[in-house]
Amino acid sequence: MTSKVEKVVEFKIHRFSPENKKRYVSTHSVPIRKGMTLLDALMYIKDNSDETLAFRSSCRMGVCGSCGILVDKEPMLACYTQVLQLNSDSLVIEPLPNMKIIKDLVIDIQPFMDTYNRIKPILIKSEEALKEPNAFVQVTADLKKYWDLSLCIKCSICYSACPAAIDEKFLGPSTYATNYRFITDSRDEGTEERLKAMADNLWLCTSCNSCTMFCPKEVDSSTSIVDERSLIVETGGIPRTVRDVLTSVTRYHNPMGMHPSKRMEWAKDLEVKAFPTIKDADILCFMGCTAAFDPRSQTIAKSMISVFNRLGVNFATLGTEEWCCGDHILRLGEKGLFEMLAEHNLSTFEKFNTQRILTLSPHCYNTFKHDPPYSEKNLNVQHYTQFLAEAIETGRLKPSKTINNRLTYHDPCFLGKRNEIYDSPRQILKAIDGLELVEMKRTRESSFCCGGGAGRTWTEEAVPEKRPSVHRVKEALELNVDMIATACPFCVTTLEDAVKVLDVEEKIEIKDVLELLDEAT
Amino acid sequence: MEIMSHDIIIIGAGMAGLRAAIAAAQFSKEVDVAVISKVYPVRSHSVCAQGGTGAVLKDGDSFDLHAWDTVKGSDFLADQDVVELFVRRAPQEIVALDHWGCPWSRTEDGKINQRRFGGHSFPRACFAADMTGFHEMHVLDGKAKTFDNVKFYDEWFVVSLLVNETAVAGLTAIDMKSGEMYALRAKAVVMATGGHERIYEFTTFSHTATGDGMTIAYRAGVPLKDMEFVQFHPTGLVPPGVLITEGARGEGGYLLNSKGERFMKRYAPERMELAPRDIIARAEMTEILEGRGLEGPYGHYLALDIRHLGEEKINERLPLIRDVAIKLGGIDPVKEPIPIRPAAHYSMGGINASIKAETSISGLYAVGECACMSLHGANRLGTNSTADCLVFGAIGGQEAAKHALSESLRELPKEQILTSEKRVFDTILGSEGDERVAAIRDEMRTIMNDNVWIFRTGDGLKSALKGIRELRERFGKVTVEDKSKQFNTGLIGALQLDFTLDLAEVTITSALARTESRGAHFRKDYSKRDDENWTKHTLAYCTKEGPKLEYAPVTITKWPPTARTY
Ligand SMILES: Cc1cc2nc3c(=O)[nH]c(=O)nc-3n(C[C@H](O)[C@H](O)[C@H](O)COP(=O)(O)OP(=O)(O)OC[C@H]3O[C@@H](n4cnc5c(N)ncnc54)[C@H](O)[C@@H]3O)c2cc1C
Ligand code: SF4
Ligand code: SF4
Ligand code: FES
C-alpha cells in the first residue's frame, strides 16, 4: 500500500566519479509522500533512477552521524529532514565541503575522525581511582554541566562549515567541544593535560559560530572554545600574539596598543562632536578601535561621518572615553578584562545620556546585544547598515551617483550568522545605480568566514593557503567580480590582506558598504 | 593480493566488537588487535539503543532475580549456566563504562539510577536518558582508541572467513574506499557483526543490520542457532519503523484501535499497555487482522496516543519521541496520535557459541547480537542485549587473546581466497543479468513480513520458503549497475542481499520445523508451548541443499520450565 504523492521534487545532485575524476550534476524527479526524509529520497533515487549514486547512511534516526549533506548550501542530516518541510520543488544536493570527496556524496572523514585522537575522549583518572570497584559519584547538577556537549554524533557538519579547520593544526569544533565536555565532567582529573592539547591551536577559531548554528544536535562548540580559552588565559599559557593583544587592551583599552589620547585623531580634520564636550545627541556612534586607529578602517569611519552629515543626523561619539567594546577580548577568553571594558563603556553611556547607539562594526553591535553586562541593559543599538537601509527605504537618503561595478557581498559572521542581518547591507547596495550584485557560492547563512573574528585579525600566523580569507577571495574571483563589498572593518582588513597575498590587487578591490554609499551620495 | 596479519581480528565495531577489542588489548600489550567494520564504529547500529542496560546494582535486587526474570522471559529456552554467568558479570561492565566516562543518569545521591523495564521484576535498567546505547558506544569507541595495540579498519567490508581445516586462518575483506580486496591473516577472529533484522521490511534497525557475519560463519561451517526467534517490538513508528520507546507507554500513553478503544483491555486487562512485548505485538496484529486497525497511507496501523499527557509533560519526559515523530513521521504527537505497528526488533538466534564465545571452528569466536550463547532463549528482555554485548564482548575478547597468545598463524587457504575474489568480482560484479538488487531485496522483505511475522502458519512458512528460494535463483541473474571500484555501495548492497537471503532461508526453515509456540515464535497451527518435544535448540547447518537442522539440549540449572504468565 502506498501513500499519496504530495508533490514531485527535482533533486539536482552534485556527483563525482573517482574513476575518471569527473564532476557532474545528475537530476532526478522524486515523488514525495508525507513522512519522506531526504534520505528516503536518496534511496528512492538509488533504487529507481540511478543505482550508482553513492551516499552514506545507517541508523536513519539522527544518531549515527552518517548522513550529513549540503542541501541548497545548508548542511543537514539527510535522515532527519522531511522533504516537505523544505518547501521547495527543486533541491541542490552536494557533499559536505572542507573534506575530500571519495565519490558523489561520500566524503573522506578520516581527517575529521583523526582529530579525536589528539585529545583523550574518555575520562582521565589516576590508576588508583580506576581500581575503585564502584561507580564514581556524580550528582545530577554536575551531569547537567556537560550533558549537552555529550550529544555530539560526530557527523562532521561543524567541521565542514568551519573556516579554522582548513588548517590541520586546528582540532575541529566538535573535538574542542568533546574535550571541554570532559573538562566539565566532575569525574575527570585531566584538565591540565586537556588544556595542553589545545594551547597552541584553539586560537585559530574565529568565533564565526557556524559550528553551533548548523549542529543538528545543538552542541555549542563555539562557546566551548571560548570557555576553554578562558581556562588557558587563567593558567597564563597563551601564545605571544594573543598575549600582546590582551596586554594592549589592558593598558590602552584598544588592541593596537595606541595611546588612548589618540583615539580621535582620525577625525581631527572633521567636525565630529564628542563626549565629554557634548553630553547629549540623538545618536551615539560607537566607532570601534579599528576605525579609530587602523588607517584602512579610518577611511570607512570618515565615510560614515560624511554620510551622516549629509543625512543631517545629530550624532556624537564617546571621543577618548570610548574603550574597546571587548567583543574580541571576550571571545579570546579574557572574561575579566571584558567585564572591565563593559563596565566602563556602560557607565559612559549613562553619563552621555545615551538613547540610541549605532555601531560601525558588527562586533561592537553583537556584544552590546548579546553579552552581559551589556545585554542586561537592553541597549537601543543598531548596526549602521540597518539604520541606513531604513533611511533609504523611507526616502531620507537617496544615492544619486552611478557606480559601474560588478561586485559581490561578503556577509560578516557577526552581522549575518550571529544576528541574521543579511538584507540591510544588500538593500543599500541595490539602491546604488550601476552596481551589479552577484552572490558567492557560500552566502548568507552558509557564508564562509573571512577569518578575522575572535582577534584572529591580529594574531594571524597561518600560511596563506590555510587562511580562510584567501579561500574567500578565491571564491569571489571565480565570479569575475571586481569588488567585494562587506560591512565590517575586520572583514575589510582580512580580505584586503588576502588580496595582497594572492597578488590580485589589480583584479579585485575590497570596500565597505559605507564607502560605496558615501561615493554614491 | 596484499596480505596483512594480526593476532586477533574483530569483525564489527558495535558495542560487542568494541568491548571485545578493549578486553583483548587489555589482556596483553603483546597482542596485536585489529577491528574491521563496514561503517565507522560510532555509526554502528548499537548507537540506536535507547532504554537501558540491565544489571544488578542495588540492595533488594539479586543475581537470582535477574536470572529468573531472564529465564522466564526466554520462555525457558535460555541456557541457565549462561544466564547465571551473565547476571554476575553485568554489574562490573556498568562500573567500567562509568570509569571511562559514560554519562549515566543519576539518583539524588549521585549513584547510577535504574528504571523499570518490561519483564524485569526490579528496576535494574541503567540508562543515560533515552540515549543509552549512544553514550555507551561513544565511551567504548574512545576507550578502544587509547590502545596502541588496536588498529581500526573503518569502512572495510568482510566478505568471507578463511578456514584452514578446522581452524580459522583469516578473512577476505574489501576496502570500500579503494574497492580493493585484501586477505587478512589472524590467529583468532571475533565475529561481532550484529543482527539481521533487515530481512524484514518493517524494522527498528539500522540499514546496516544485514546479518553479514551470521552468514559468513554459517557458510564457513558453523551452525546458526534458534534463528526462528525474532522479537517484534509493539511500537515501530509508521512509516520508517523507528522505535518509539516503551517509555511512551510507561508515561501513560494509550494504544488505540480504529474505534478509539484501548484494545489491550481484551488481552491483558491488568497490565494493559505495559504487558510484555510479545503479548502486545500479538494483540496489535489481532486488532489489525480482525479489521480494527486504522487505515493509513502506509498500510494498517494502530495509534499510540500521548496527547492527554499534555505538551508540558511530553516535552519534559519524552522530548526525543516528539522530535523523532516530527522529524521522521511528519506528525506532532502533541496534536495527533502517533501511528505505530509492530516492528522486527531483535534476533535471539545467531552463530552458535559456547559460554566462552567459542564456535565450532577453532579460533573463531562470536559475540553480541550475531552470536547465540542462548542467553535470551525464545524471547529477549529489554536491556539484556546491550548487557549481553558488554559481558560476552569482554569474555570473547579475552578468550581470543588467550588463544592468539598460544597459537601461531595458519597457512592461508589460497583457493578460498580465489573463490571469494571470484564470487565478488566475477559472479556478482561481473554479472549481466536483468535482475535488480533493490527489487529482490524488497520482495524478500515483503515475503518475510507477510509470512514470517508475528503469527506464523505451516502453509505460510512453506510458501515463504518457496518464495525465498525463487529469489535466490533470481539473485544469480542480478546486475550491479555500478562497475567502478571506489565506494561502490551498489556492490555492497548486492553482497548484503546475498547474505540476507541465506538468513531468510534459515529463519523460515527453523520456524517451519518448530511445531510449537514459544516466546516470540508463534505458530497459529501449534499455538501451545510443547516442553516435552521442544525444550531444545535448533541448529541449522549450511549444506548445498539448504539448511540442515539438528537439535541440542537446553541447559537447566535451577529453574525447570513452568507456565509463563504475567
Ligand atoms: C531502536 C533500538 C533500540 C534498542 N534499545 C535497546 C536497549 O535499550 N537496551 C538493550 O539492551 N538493547 C537494545 N537494543 C538492541 C541492541 O541495540 C542491539 O542488540 C545491540 O546494539 C547489538 O550490538 P552488536 O555490537 O552486536 O552489533 P551492531 O551494533 O549492530 O554492530 C555491528 C557491527 O558489525 C559491523 N559489520 C557488520 N557486517 C560487517 C561486514 N560484512 N564487514 C565488516 N563489518 C561488518 C558493523 O559495521 C558494525 O560495526 C535496541 C535496538 C534497537 C533497534
Ligand atoms: S566558531 Fe567558526 S571558526 Fe570557531 S570552531 Fe566554530 S566554525 Fe570554526
Ligand atoms: S558538534 Fe554537532 S555538527 Fe559537529 S560533529 Fe558533533 S553533532 Fe555534528
Ligand atoms: S543515517 Fe544516522 S544520522 Fe542519518
If asked whether residues A99 and A117 sit together in one domain, one would say no
Between A and B, how many CB-CB pairs are < 8 A?
193
Answer whether residue A374 is part of any domain: yes
The pLDDT value recorded for residue A455 is 79
Over residues A49-58, the mean pLDDT reads 97
Out of B98, B106, B207, closest to residue A140 by CB: B106
**pLDDT of A2:** 59
Q: Which of A272-286, A323-337, B158-172, B430-444 has the lowest mean pLDDT?
A: A272-286
A315 touches chain B (CB under 8 A): no
Angle (CA) A146-A148-A154 rounded to 5° is 105
A246 assigned to some structural domain: no
Whether residue A151 lies within 8 A of chain B, CB to CB, comes out as: yes
Q: Is B537 a catalytic residue?
A: no
Kindly state whether residues A298 and A435 are assigned to the same domain. yes
Last residue of a domain, one of A51, A82, A107: A107
Express each pLDDT in B95-113 by its tens digit. Answer: 999 999 999 999 999 999 9
Range of the domain at A91: 5-107
Q: How far is CA B64 from CA A410, B81, B89, in A?
A: 68, 12, 13
Question: Is the full-model pTM beyond 0.90?
Answer: yes
Pair (A76, A122) in one structural domain = no
Interval A111-164: pLDDT, tens: 999 999 999 999 999 999 999 999 999 999 999 999 999 999 999 999 999 999
Sign of CA dihedral A360, A363, A369, A375: negative
Reported as a single tens digit per residue, the pLDDT across A184-193 is 999 999 999 9
For cell 554476575, what's the residue?
B88
Kindly give the residue spans of alpha helices, DSSP state H, lying in A215-361.
221-235, 240-252, 289-293, 295-311, 327-331, 335-352
- Total of domains in chain A: 3
Chain B residues 116-145 within an 8 A CB cutoff of chain A: 129, 131, 134-135, 138-139, 141-143, 145
Quickly count: other Cβ atoms within 10 Å of residue B310's Cβ. 11
- Note whether A90 and A71 are within 8 A (CB): no
Is residue B466 within 8 angstroms of chain A, CB to CB? no
CA distance A306 to A514: 10
pLDDT digits (tens, 9 = 90+) for A162-183: 999 999 999 999 999 999 999 9
Say if residue A488's pLDDT is above 60.
yes
Residue A33 lies in a domain: yes
A116 and A40 in a common domain: no
Q: Is the pLDDT of residue A359 over 70?
A: yes
Tell me the shortest Cα–Cα distance from A502 to chain B, in angstroms.
Answer: 35
CB contact under 8 A, B141 and A121: yes
B485 reaches A (C-beta below 8 A): yes
In a domain, A247, yes or no: no
> Residue B110 and residue A150: Cβ atoms within 8 Å?
no
Residues of chain A neighbouring B109 (CB-CB closer than 8 A): 137, 139
The ipTM assigned to this model is 0.95
Q: Which residues of B touch A188 (CB under 8 A)?
A: 101
Same domain, A325 and A415: yes
Q: What's at B393, amino acid-wise? A: G
Closest CA–CA distance from residue A361 to any residue of chain B (Å): 38
Q: Is A42 in the pocket of ligand 4 (CB under 6 A)?
A: no
Same domain, A133 and A102: no
Secondary structure of residue B171 in the 3-state scheme: strand
Q: Where are the alpha helices (DSSP H) in B409-561?
A: 414-421, 437-451, 458-475, 489-513, 531-534
Q: Please state, in angstroms and as integers, the Cα–Cα distance from residue B497 to each residue in B174, B207, B509, following that order.
A: 16, 12, 18
Q: What distance in angstroms lies between residue A334's CA and the mean position of ligand 2's atoms? A: 18
- Using the predicted structure, report yes or no on whether residue B31 has a pLDDT greater than 80: yes
Of A338-347, B56-65, B238-247, the range with the lowest mean pLDDT is B238-247
Q: Does B172 touch chain A (CB under 8 A)?
A: no
- Which of A4, A42, A49, A60 to mutate against chain B (most B CBs within 10 Å)? A60
Which pLDDT score is estimated for A279?
Answer: 83
A123 at B interface, C-beta within 8 A: yes
User: Distance between terminal CA atoms of chain B?
Assistant: 58
Please judge whether A37 and B327 are an interchain contact, meaning their C-beta atoms are less than 8 angstroms apart: yes
The fold for domain B235-342 equals Flavocytochrome C3; Chain A, domain 1 (3.90.700)
Closest CA to B213 of B472, B542, B551, B496: B496
Whether A392 and A457 share a structural domain: yes
Catalytic residue among B19, B45, B120, B233: B233
The CATH code of the domain that includes A25 is: 3.10.20.30
Q: What class is the B415-538 domain?
A: mainly alpha
CA dihedral of residues B22, B26, B27, B28 (deg, nearest 10): 120
Does a structural domain hold residue A150? yes
Nearest atom in ligand 4 to the alpha carbon of residue A77 is: 4
From CA A99, how far away is CA A108, in angstroms rounded? 6
**First-to-final CA distance of chain A:** 65
CA trace torsion B384, B385, B387, B391 (10° rounding): 120
CATH number for the domain including A214? 1.10.1060.10
| Å between B41 CA and nearest CA of chain A | 9
Nearest CA to ligand 3 atom 1: A174
**Sign of the C-alpha dihedral computed for residues B394, B398, B400 and B404 taken in this order:** positive
Looking at all shown ligands, the one closest to residue A157's CA atom is 3
Question: Is residue A493 within 8 Å of residue A456, measured between CB atoms?
Answer: no
Q: What is the DSSP letter of A464?
A: G
pLDDT at A1: 43
Q: Is the pLDDT of residue A338 over 60?
A: yes
Assigned domain for A243 exists: no
Percent of chain A with pLDDT over 90: 90
Residues A101 and A173 placed together within one structural domain of the fold: no
- Top residue of B37, B44, B47, B58 to mutate, by most chain A CBs within 10 Å, is B47
Please check whether residues A440 and A392 belong to one and the same domain. yes
Q: What is the pLDDT averaged over residues B159-165?
A: 96
Torsion of Cα atoms, B199 then B201 then B204 then B207, to 10°: 60
pLDDT tens for B195-208 read 999 999 999 999 99
Q: Round to whole Å and give the CA distance between B206 and A205.
A: 35
Does residue B209 carry a pLDDT above 60? yes
Residues 6+ apart with CB under 8 A from B437: A51, B478, B480, B490, B493, B494, B497
- The residue from B249, B380, B403, B564 that is catalytic is B249
Q: Are residues A267 and A224 in the same domain?
A: no
Strand, helix or coil for residue A152 = coil
- Judge if A276 and A346 occupy the same domain: yes
Judging contacts by C-beta atoms under 8 Å, the chain B residues touching residue A117 are: 145
**Mapping DSSP to helix (H, G, I), strand (E, B) and coil, where does residue B455 land?**
coil
Q: Is the dihedral of CA A271, A277, A283, A287 positive or negative?
A: positive
For residue A121, tell me if it sits in a domain.
Answer: yes
A57 is written with which cell numbers? Answer: 547512511
- What's the confidence (pLDDT) of residue B254? 95
- The residues of chain B that CATH labels 1.20.58.100 are 415-538
Q: Where are the beta strands (DSSP E) in B265-307?
A: 294-296, 299-305
Q: Is B438 in Cβ contact with A47 (below 8 Å)? A: yes
Residues A61 and A156 in one domain: no
- Alpha carbon dihedral B271, B275, B279, B280, in 10-degree steps, equals 100
Tell me, in angstroms, the distance from the centre of ligand 2 to residue A449's CA: 9
Instruction: Report pLDDT digits (tens) over B44-59.
Output: 999 999 889 999 999 9
Q: B446 touching A, CB under 8 A?
A: no
B405 touches chain A (CB under 8 A): no
Pocket of ligand 1 (CB under 6 A): B 11-17, 36-39, 44-46, 48-53, 132-133, 157-158, 192-195, 204-205, 208-209, 212-213, 243, 345-346, 368-370, 382-386, 389
What mean pLDDT is predicted for residues A320-331?
A: 95
pLDDT at A207: 94
Q: Is A59 in the pocket of ligand 4 (CB under 6 A)?
A: yes
The answer to whether residue B233 is catalytic is yes
Cα(B324) to ligand 4 centroid in Å equals: 12
Interface of B with A in 211-250 (CB under 8 A): 239-240, 242-243
The contacts of residue A420 (CB under 8 Å, 6+ apart) are none
Task: State the span(s) of chain B assigned CATH 3.90.700.10.
Answer: 235-342
Q: Do B103 and A147 touch (CB under 8 A)?
A: yes
- B481 inside 8 A of chain A by CB: yes
In testing the pocket of ligand 2, which one of A98, A198, A202, A206 has its CB within 8 Å of the most ligand atoms?
Answer: A206
Q: Does any domain span residue A476?
A: yes
pLDDT in tens, A222-253: 999 999 999 999 988 888 889 999 999 999 99
pLDDT (tens digit per residue) in A72-115: 999 999 999 999 999 999 999 999 999 999 999 999 999 999 99
